Amino acid sequence: MTPLSLPQIRVLFTPAEFLQLHGQDLSCTTCVVFDVLRATSTLLEALYQGAKGIRPAGTIEEALALKQSNPHCLLAGEREGLRITAAQTGGIDFDLGNSPLEFTASVVADREIIMTTTNGTRALSACRGAAEILAASFSNIGALAGYLTLNLPSKLLLICSGTLENASFEDALGAGALVDRLWPLYGNPVKARTDDSAAIARSLFQNHQSSLLDSAGLARNGRRLLALPQLAPDIPLCMDLDRLNLVARLDSDGVLRVIDP
């Protein structure tokens, strides 16, 4: 039996699991949130394109309330994959949807963005109170692995945002990519407590790493996006490994910002 004080790694695959985090003591836990298709891919892209920060909001109402107190912010987000419109808010059209391709430097540089999505921002909210909350996607796996290797959290929880109330293939795959990079630190049973969930995610990634783009077609959300001509081009960007050298943390003031790895 390994001692409890060893570093631990675990993956939560479904919203039912991450919703249970509310009210738990996460003060010694580092949470890494994945919504590969597309919320965290988009948040990271926005920061890469020069956005000053992102304020994730769990609901449309919360986003509108944040906009009232922060009128300088852009409003972004989706429901059923599409940009939120005046019909859903009682009169306000959102400035942006949830497509990483929309978040160009000319639109987002030096701006703060309030963002609400169906699953991704809900997963970020569920981690409130954690020692550290980091945003992850395929784009920043290498940068995150470097940061976590330097900091070696004693409790590392990888959270898959999922699709609606279900597990999602692409988030499990993304979590697996990070577990794979961290395996020398967390995969040795003498040096760490590795939950089977982490080994499952790693094994999934190892099976699909040579065809990440094709594997989007195995995901319910991937198939939905691929069927929409205006959203299909998001997929190659979201499934592209190690494109961005950045680490983003949700600070205690509720703003996600780039930190120096």
Nearer to ligand MLT, 144 or 235 (CB): 235
**Cβ neighbour number for residue 112 with a 10 Å cutoff:** 17
CB distance 123 to 17 below 8 Å:
no
Nearer to ligand MLT, 39 or 172 (CB): 39
Give me 71's structure tokens: 């009128």
Using CB under 6 A as the binding rule, whether residue 83 contacts ligand MLT is answered as no
3-state secondary structure 112-155: EEEEECCCHHHHHHHCCCCCEEEEECHHHHHHHHHHHHHHCCCE
Using CB under 6 A as the binding rule, whether residue 117 contacts ligand MLT is answered as yes
CB distance 155 to 30 below 8 Å:
yes
Q: How far is the CB of 87 from ligand MLT (least distance, A)?
A: 18
Q: In the set 8, 14, 29, 119, which binds ligand MLT (CB under 6 A)? A: 119
Using CB under 6 A as the binding rule, whether residue 78 contacts ligand MLT is answered as yes
**Measured at CB, which residue is nearest to ligand MLT?**
117
- How far apart, in whole angstroms, are the C-alpha atoms of residue 257 and residue 241? 21
Residues 163-192 binding ligand MLT (CB under 6 A) are none
Using CB under 6 A as the binding rule, whether residue 215 contacts ligand MLT is answered as no
Using CB under 6 A as the binding rule, whether residue 221 contacts ligand MLT is answered as yes
CB distance 134 to 140 below 8 Å:
no
**Cβ neighbour number for residue 67 with a 10 Å cutoff:** 20
Using CB under 6 A as the binding rule, whether residue 81 contacts ligand MLT is answered as yes
Nearer to ligand MLT, 162 or 176 (CB): 162
Using CB under 6 A as the binding rule, whether residue 39 contacts ligand MLT is answered as yes
Q: In the set 35, 45, 171, 180, which binds ligand MLT (CB under 6 A)? A: 35
Q: Which residues, 6 or more positions from 163, have their beta carbon under 8 angstroms from its beta carbon?
A: 119, 219, 220, 221
What is the binding site for ligand MLT (CB under 6 A)? 35, 37-39, 78, 81, 98, 117-120, 161, 221
